[in-house]
Amino acid sequence: MSICTAHKKVSLLASSLLLVAFGLYAQSTVSTPIVGFRKTSLPSGSVCIVPGFVKSPVYQGSSLVSGQTLAVTGLNSGALNSSNYTDRPNYPTHYVEIVAGTYEGYSYDIASNTANQVVVTGLPSALNGQTVSIAIRRHVTLDDLAQGNSGLLDYSDAVNIMNSDGTSTTRIYVSGSWVAEDFSSPAGHTIIYPGNGVVFSSGGATITTTGVVKSTKTAVPLYSAAVNYVGRQNPSGGSKVVNLGIGTSLLPYSDGFNVPSFDGSMATVGTYYSDGSAMLDAGYSPLASNAADSVPADSGIQVSVGSDTVWIMQSPLNP
């Protein structure tokens, strides 16, 4: 099985993403989040996978912002600190997600913590001095995709992570985890950020994802220099194109995205644009509100944008 790669193009790429998925089992109560697992069947070939779950929060509450520091209580000092790996020092293990207000859905990597504060990167200056509602979660990683798998082959099956600068990073499956392009350096810690996808190349396998169904919005960056593999975190089923909510994030009649086929060939079955709000088909005609065009569960779309922007996704509990 060859490793799938991707290259930047100015126009929409004539390629696609695929996923065939089945079986969602979940449990919930009034006072607890919805948790569950999903088994996903991968065909032989290359597919895009957007993990449908996030990790349970290790902390939730209100927090006062001071620069890049957020006040917390009761954490173990150093428990959220970044880690050092062969390919990257200061690799984040956890992130802060803002769960209410203007910045709902935005997340920020944690660099370090004490018992009463966490230090993050990239927090907007507009939040300085504000009190925000947050959740702290451990990142979903490639090792989470390796758990409970059936049929993945050592030194053959692989994933590609698309980077914001247009490059891609390859990870190769080995014995329940992943290694880097040198086929030896451990790389199972590689992060899959919320709403982002990976391109998975295999000879056919089954993977199992587990976690919490996200009950808040998700802010997903879209980069002009990159091929953006993204999708809704909706483990219970697919999403209709007209309900994706991406229209307001796309430049009218310019930015657009492809929706994949389901056979592992990465062939496009639909191309879509926006008029700044509503979705348009490949001929720039408005897509009917009852149009059947959809994206499968656990899969994603391939987005091209002319300038960096952010897609604010609704929770799958608010379709």
Cα distances from 121 to residues 74, 104, 129, 136, in angstroms, run: 21, 17, 16, 14
11 contacts 304 by C-beta, under 8 angstroms: yes
So what's the pLDDT on residue 147?
84
Sign of CA dihedral 63, 108, 210, 296: positive
So what's the pLDDT on residue 319?
63
Question: For residue range 214-227, what is the model confidence (pLDDT) as tens digits?
Answer: 999 999 999 999 99
Question: For residue range 126-183, what is the model confidence (pLDDT) as tens digits?
Answer: 999 999 999 999 999 999 988 878 899 999 999 999 999 999 999 999 999 999 999 9
So what's the pLDDT on residue 260?
83
Q: Is 121 left (phi over 0), alpha (psi -120 to 50) or beta?
A: beta
Question: For residue range 254-266, what is the model confidence (pLDDT) as tens digits?
Answer: 999 999 887 899 8
152 contacts 146 by C-beta, under 8 angstroms: yes
For the chain, the C-alpha Rg in angstroms (whole number) is 19
Task: Chunk the chain into consecutive blocks of 10 residues (it has 319) and report each block's average pLDDT, rounded to whole numbers.
Answer: 35 30 32 79 92 94 98 96 88 97 97 97 97 97 88 95 95 95 94 95 92 94 96 84 95 95 87 96 96 88 97 87
Q: Is 266 left (phi over 0), alpha (psi -120 to 50) or beta?
A: left
The structural architecture, per CATH, of the domain 59-138 is: Beta Barrel (2.40)
171 contacts 142 by C-beta, under 8 angstroms: yes
Question: Where along the chain do its domains lie?
Answer: 20-50+141-212, 59-138
